[in-house]
Amino acid sequence: MRKGRLIIDEPTDGRRNMAVDEALFNIAHEESSFPITLRLYGWTPPCVSIGRRQSFDMVNIDECLRKGLDVVKRIGGGSAVYHEHELTYCFVSRLDAMPEPKGVEWRAIFGSLLENFGVSPDAPDDRGLARVETCFASSGDDEPTVNGRKWVGSARRRSRSVFLQHGSILLARQPDFFDQLVHTKVEDNSTGLWEIIPDISAEKIASVLTEKIGEAFGVEFHTSPASAEETDEADKIIHRASTAAI
């Protein structure tokens, strides 16, 4: 059984959340002893994030600011997401600590999470992932749906020595006004676990998700905060982004 670290962070703003994910990815390259890490967190204020290869031109920045929303770019790929009522996860490891999981392995984890609460996921759809502007308009092979609706969305980043996967587990569906925040021609296809499993809490989902990931990857997680080096790296990332924006 491999040893792993579980970081449980209080909800914070989008820049800090994405900086911490990026800091974990960066530090994993520098430290051969970097632990297999699962980070769980939330967002305040609500935020719109876009994938690494997307442009801020697709976001209605003025409308986001009017609604008091953060706007950030993720280190991972994927498409635009509205973050508010959700549990967000980030899984980071060196490749010499464990192999990068395949999409079907993540799908099994998320399916097992549903089944733990008595819900059966839809059968896999082999049509493939459509490239669309918003994450919850289309499902990938690692994202099981329920009644055709998408409730979990993930993105990833990989180098020669480190991999990262992070994503959103929705408690509530993407908001009706999301098409006012991003320029998109596709319809939202999201649902939230509150619609599927009434009264479920983010804390319970976090507990079961940690258990399922540990079982699937052979990792025993122990709760521990980000290191001083990782926090310092996140601060530097935020500072560099702030300086570049001036």
Written in H, E and C, the secondary structure of 161-172 is CEEEEEEEEECC
Question: What pLDDT band is residue 131 in, cutting at 50, 70 and 90?
Answer: low
**Domain boundaries 2-245, corresponding CATH code:** 3.30.930.10
Tokens for 65? 């600011």
In the chain, what are the domain boundaries?
Answer: 2-245
CA-to-CA distance for 83 and 14, rounded, in angstroms?
A: 9
Task: Look at residue 244 in the predicted model and tell me its pLDDT.
Answer: 58
Counting every residue, how long is the chain?
246
> What residues contact 197, with CB distance under 8 A and at least 6 apart?
117, 118, 119
pLDDT score recorded for residue 151: 97
Note the Cα 73 to chain centre separation in Å. Answer: 12
Whole-angstrom Cα distance, residue 60 to residue 68? 13
H helical segments located in the chain: 14-30, 61-66, 103-116, 178-181, 193-196, 202-217, 228-245
DSSP annotation of 154: E
Give the pLDDT of residue 188.
87
Q: Mean pLDDT check: name the lowest of 25-34, 70-79, 215-224, 235-244.
A: 235-244
The CA distance from 115 to 48, in Å, is 30
pLDDT at 127 over 70: no
On average, the pLDDT of the chain sits at: 93
Residue whose tokens read 């699962």: 38
Residue in 21, 23, 72, 79 with CA at minimum distance from that of residue 46: 72
Where in the sequence numbering do the catalytic residues fall? 135
Least confident of 165-179, 181-195, 225-239: 181-195
CA distance 237 to 127: 38
Kindly report the pTM of this predicted structure.
Answer: 0.94
